[in-house]
Amino acid sequence: MIEHILFDLDGTLADTADDLANALNAIRLKHDLAILPKEIIRPTVSLGGNAMIKLAFDLEEGDAGFDTIREEFLNNYRANIARETQLFEGMEKLLVSFENTNKPWGIVTNKPSWLTDPLLAAMSLDKRAACVVSGDTLEHRKPHPAPILHACKLMQSDPAMTIYIGDAQRDIEAGRRAGTKTLVALYGYIDKDDDPASWCADGMVSSPHEISNKLSELCI
């Protein structure tokens, strides 16, 4: 039986791409660069801020100017963190169904806590989640299994009776290494060149509406 559910945040639980894209484009405008279409930015969101900066400014970590742009970008995002962000369609109903059937759910994200915490508070999710493990909670981040194992410990759950749902290969790798079941959120920020079928997850879902049925299948 799957008794506990863990979600990645960006691209799995919540659609944060527009707010992140707006923050990134604000910095591009400041540097007299044209706005990037959101559909170009969207697939990089689950890869983190560094990947978004590389896309928008062709800068790698360690390059001159990288740290300044990263600080501007993240501070801009923090100041406007929940303007357009919302749960994916069907997610609220799913969370309520978990809560009504005493199935604790939590969040494991690589997003740092100084961004995760205010976002969840703004969405009134902070008191509902059984646990929240951010990218700076531990020494390691996904794809290392430690964050998921820590979440299981906080929820007093057996990894073998827990599922981790994410939209990036590192999510699935972290879940598999931690010993949980895994689901790919195909509705998330998956690039056209990605091959989710090769990630060796236990299943894939095209929308949050499909998650409950997929959990039932995995329990058989």
Tell me how many degrees the CA angle 49-40-52 measures, rounded to the nearest 5: 10
**Can the peptide bond before residue 104 be classed as cis, meaning omega within 30 degrees of 0?**
no
Cα 84 to Cα 93: distance, rounded to the nearest angstrom: 20
CB 23 within 8 A of CB 56: no
Catalytic option among 10, 15, 19, 167: 10
Told to judge if 202 belongs to the known catalytic residues of this protein, a careful annotator would answer: no
Q: Is 7 left (phi over 0), alpha (psi -120 to 50) or beta?
A: beta
Cα 119 to Cα 132: distance, rounded to the nearest angstrom: 12
Tell me how many degrees the CA angle 203-92-46 measures, rounded to the nearest 5: 55
Exposed e or buried b per residue across 204-216, where buried means at least 16 C-beta atoms within 10 angstroms of its C-beta: bbeebebbbebbe
Cα 71 to Cα 202: distance, rounded to the nearest angstrom: 37
Catalytic option among 8, 15, 19, 171: 8
Residue type, 171: D
Told to judge if 10 belongs to the known catalytic residues of this protein, a careful annotator would answer: yes
State the catalytic residues: 8, 10
